[in-house]
Chain A
Amino acid sequence: MTDLSAFSNDGLVDALLMEVAGMLGRLIDRGETATIDLRGLPLSPACISDLEKRLGHGEISVQLDAAGRSEIHETSFPGVWWTRHCDEAGRLIALLIEVATVPDILRADPSDLADGLQRLAGATHFASHQHARHA
Chain B
Amino acid sequence: MDEPETLGSVLKRRGFSRRSLLKFAIAMTSSLALPPSIAPLMAANLARAKRRSVIWLSFQECTGCLETLLRSSSPTIDSLIFDFISLDYQESLMAAAGTAAERTLREAVAANKGEYLLAIDGSIPTKDGGVYSLTGGRSNFDMLMEFAADAKAVLAIGTCAAYGGIPKAHPNPTGAVGVEDLVTNKPIVNIPGCPPVPEVLSGVLVHFVSFGKLPELDDRKRPLAYFGTTIHDQCYRRPFYDQGKFAKSFDDEGARQGWCLFELGCKGPITHNACASLKWNGGTSFPIESGHGCIGCSEPDFWDKGSFYTSLAGGSVAGWRNAGIAAAVGIAGGAAAALTARRKPHAEKAERDPDKPKPKTADAGSAGDVPAKPKDAGASSVDAAQATPKDADASSADAAPAKPKDADASSADAAPPNRDKQP
Indicate whether A and B are direct neighbours in the complex (CB within 8 Å). Answer: yes
Binary contact track A83-122/B, C-beta < 8 Å → 1, others 0: 0010111011110100000001100110110010000000
Given A34-B37, A92-B283, is A40 in contact with B30 using a C-beta cutoff of 8 Å? yes
User: Which 8 A-B residue pairings sit nearest by Cβ, starting from the closest?
Assistant: A67-B20, A109-B18, A93-B27, A66-B20, A35-B36, A91-B282, A66-B19, A2-B257
Other-chain residue from A40, A44, A85 in contact with B27 (beta carbon distance below 8 A): A85
- Least distance between B72 CB and chain A CB atoms (Å): 9
Q: A42 contacts the other chain (Cβ, under 8 Å)?
A: yes
Given A67-B20, A70-B23, A91-B283, is A39 in contact with B277 using a C-beta cutoff of 8 Å? yes
Check A1 against B239 for contact (C-beta < 8 Å): no
- Least distance between A7 CB and chain B CB atoms (Å): 6
Given A1-B258, A67-B77, A88-B76, is A93 in contact with B30 using a C-beta cutoff of 8 Å? yes
Q: A37-B30, A85-B26, A96-B30 are in contact. List 7 more A-B contacts (CB 8 A).
A: A2-B257, A34-B37, A35-B37, A64-B23, A67-B24, A91-B282, A109-B18
| B contact set with A: CB distance below 8 Å | 8, 12, 16-20, 22-24, 26-27, 29-30, 33, 35-37, 40, 47, 74-77, 234, 236-237, 239, 256-258, 277, 282-283
Check B27 against A94 for contact (C-beta < 8 Å): yes
Given A34-B37, A88-B76, A109-B19, is A96 in contact with B26 using a C-beta cutoff of 8 Å? yes
Check B22 against A104 for contact (C-beta < 8 Å): yes
Check A4 against B258 for contact (C-beta < 8 Å): yes
Contacts of A2 in B (CB 8 A): 257-258
Q: Dominant SS at the A interface?
A: mixed
Check A104 against B237 for contact (C-beta < 8 Å): no
A89 to B284, CA, bound (A): 12
Check B74 against A89 for contact (C-beta < 8 Å): yes
- Least distance between B240 CB and chain A CB atoms (Å): 9
Check A64 against B19 for contact (C-beta < 8 Å): yes
Other-chain residue from A40, A42, A105 in contact with B19 (beta carbon distance below 8 A): A105
A104 to B18, CA, bound (A): 12
Contacts of B24 in A (CB 8 A): 67
- Least distance between A46 CB and chain B CB atoms (Å): 11
Check B23 against A105 for contact (C-beta < 8 Å): yes
Contacts of A94 in B (CB 8 A): 23, 26-27, 30
A57 to B48, CA, bound (A): 37
A108 to B22, CA, bound (A): 11
Given A66-B20, A94-B27, A109-B19, is A40 in contact with B33 using a C-beta cutoff of 8 Å? yes
Other-chain residue from A36, A66, A70, A89 in contact with B17 (beta carbon distance below 8 A): A66
- Least distance between B374 CB and chain A CB atoms (Å): 80
Check A4 against B37 for contact (C-beta < 8 Å): no
A57 to B36, CA, bound (A): 23
Other-chain residue from B22, B239, B257 in contact with A105 (beta carbon distance below 8 A): B22
Chain A to chain B contacts (Cβ below 8 Å), 22 pairs: A1-B257, A2-B258, A4-B236, A33-B37, A35-B36, A37-B30, A39-B30, A64-B23, A67-B16, A67-B77, A85-B23, A85-B26, A87-B27, A88-B74, A88-B75, A89-B282, A91-B282, A96-B36, A109-B18, A111-B18, A111-B47, A112-B19
